[in-house]
Amino acid sequence: MSSTLGIDSPATSPFPPADSASRNLLIDANEAEELRREFLQPQPSLPSKYFYDQTGSELFDAICELDEYYPTRTEASIMQDNIDEMVDAIGTAGRLIEYGSGSSLKTRLLLDNMYPEVAYVPVDISGDYLQQVADQLRGDFPDRRIDPIAADFTRPFQLPKQQHAQSRDVVYFPGSTIGNFRPAAASSLLSQMRNQVGRGGGLLIGFDLQKAPAVLEAAYDDRRGVTALFNLNLLRHLNRVAGANFQMEQYRHVAFYNDINHRIEMHLESTREQRVQLAGCSRTIRKGERILTEYSHKYSMDGFTRMAADSGWRRESVWTDPNEYFAVAMFRS
Ligand code: AVI
């Protein structure tokens, strides 16, 4: 998940320095700076990475089970239905490098089926959790080489050198996480992946397709209100780690499809005027004002292929579901 949603850090901050409250934060100085920068924009926003504390991760798992939230199960069925072709496209030698691997749960099908010579390289920012997952995977897949790397995949990171010159690296980026990046940030991430695997390398990526707005809006505003809780939990998380004083009950979840930019937008709308403190800064949020918390871009097949081509990727194969709701594609550099 992007830490900046595509906003680059200016060399010097245009915002006032943090006050003394920022000394007790559970986030580092760069994160505090990023929060202040986003929150103090004319259109306030908050980085979506703060969705994922313990509660938020559990709520996201619950979202993936919802009737309305089609992406997870659709991608899983595409993988299941086409696993043999995918495994052949990955090839017989090299590494599968998963960006933002988390629990690696969705990758088990590939780990079960890939050629035995292919090593698995899960990349995740949370080092301790990554080691636990890697130990578990080594137990469950004793014949597979597992080489975890603790890194923030949104920034360039070093891979150990390949053992054989002719081996090919394939980046695996499932879950339509690419859709949570703004277009410029998505393009630069695709370029970074391209540079990392070099010529002849691959990219196996899942992305969400454009479809009827009613289907999309239901997926991000479900009847049981799980997505609303997921969105609101971001405020609770920031209260805990970033010295914020959000009153959760004074915001409501808003999700809609922006059909000009082809994206779901999630916001939190304030139900009254209030003064908010966050990471050592403060601002007034008016009644009815919205704080942007997430974009989830939806692509056309051609649009995604063009964006990838601009970053040096040629589409080799694409697999989709009967409704054409979601796509998994193999690109080659
Ligand atoms: C993680 N990401 C791909 C999800 C999405 O669909 O954009 C995050 C999410 N937000 C609300 N529901 C799910």
Checking if the pLDDT of 10 tops 80, the result is no
Q: Where are the beta strands (DSSP E) in the chain?
A: 94-99, 118-124, 149-150, 168-173, 202-208, 251-258, 263-270, 274-278, 281-285, 290-297, 314-320, 326-332
Q: State the pLDDT at residue 184.
A: 97
The tokens describing 142, both together, are 């004793």
d(CA 101, CA 207): 16
Q: At what angle do helices 70-90 and 54-65 cross, to 10 degrees?
A: 90
- pLDDT 10s digits, 42-52: 999 999 999 99
Q: Which residue in 264, 256, 254 sits closest to 298, CA to CA? A: 264
- Measured CA distances, 239 to 22, 25, 48, 106, 277 (Å): 12, 10, 15, 31, 9
Residue nearest to atom 2 of ligand 1 (CA): 177
For 296-319, the pLDDT digits (tens) are 999 999 999 999 999 999 999 999
pLDDT-based confidence at residue 23 (cuts at 50, 70, 90): low
Which residue among 5, 68, 220, 326 has the greatest number of ligand 1 atoms within 8 angstroms of its CB, and so is best to mutate?
220
From the CA of 167, how far away is ligand 1's center (Å)?
34
Task: Tell me how far apart the alpha carbons of residues 27 and 287 are, in angstroms, rounded to a whole number.
Answer: 29
Share of the chain above pLDDT 70, in %: 92
Average pLDDT over residues 183-199: 96
**Residue ranges of domains in the chain:** 22-51+214-297, 70-210+299-332
What is the whole-number distance in angstroms between the Cα of residue 296 and the centre of ligand 1? Answer: 7
Atom number, ligand 1, closest to the C-alpha of residue 219 = 12
Question: Which string of DSSP letters, residue by residue, matches 116-167?
Answer: TTEEEEEEES-HHHHHHHHHHHHHH-TTS-B--EE--TTS--PPPPPSSTT-
| Residue with CA at minimum distance from ligand 1 atom 10 | 220
Question: Which tokens in the block code for residue 174?
Answer: 């499932």
Cα dihedral 139, 143, 147, 153 sign: negative
**Which ligand 1 atom sits closest to the C-alpha of 60?**
13
Question: How many angstroms is it from 5 CA to the middle of ligand 1?
Answer: 13
Q: Whose CA is nearest to atom 5 of ligand 1?
A: 296
Ligand 1 atom nearest residue 255's Cα: 11
In this structure, the number of other CB atoms found within 10 A of the CB of residue 315 comes to 17
The reply to whether ligand 1 has any atom less than 6 angstroms from the CB of 174 is: no
What pLDDT shows up at residue 20? Answer: 44
Q: Across the chain, what does the average pLDDT equal? A: 92
pLDDT score of 198 more than 80: yes
What's the CA gap between 130 and 188, in Å, rounded?
A: 25
* Among the four given CATH numbers 3.30.70.260, 3.40.50.150, 3.40.50.300, 3.40.50.2300, the one describing domain 70-210+299-332: 3.40.50.150
Residue with the nearest Cα to atom 11 of ligand 1? 220
Output the pLDDT for position 239.
97
Distance 297 CA to ligand 1 centre (A): 10
pLDDT reading at 22 higher than 80: no
Tell me the C-alpha distance between 267 and 150, whole Å: 31
Question: Strand, helix or coil at 268?
Answer: strand
Mean pLDDT of all residues in 137-147: 97
Q: Is 177 in the pocket of ligand 1 (CB under 6 A)?
A: yes
Index of the ligand 1 atom closest to the CA of residue 175: 3
Gap between the Cα atoms of 260 and 253, Å rounded: 21
Ligand 1 in reach of 227 Cβ (< 6 A): yes
Q: In the prediction, which pLDDT does 189 show?
A: 98
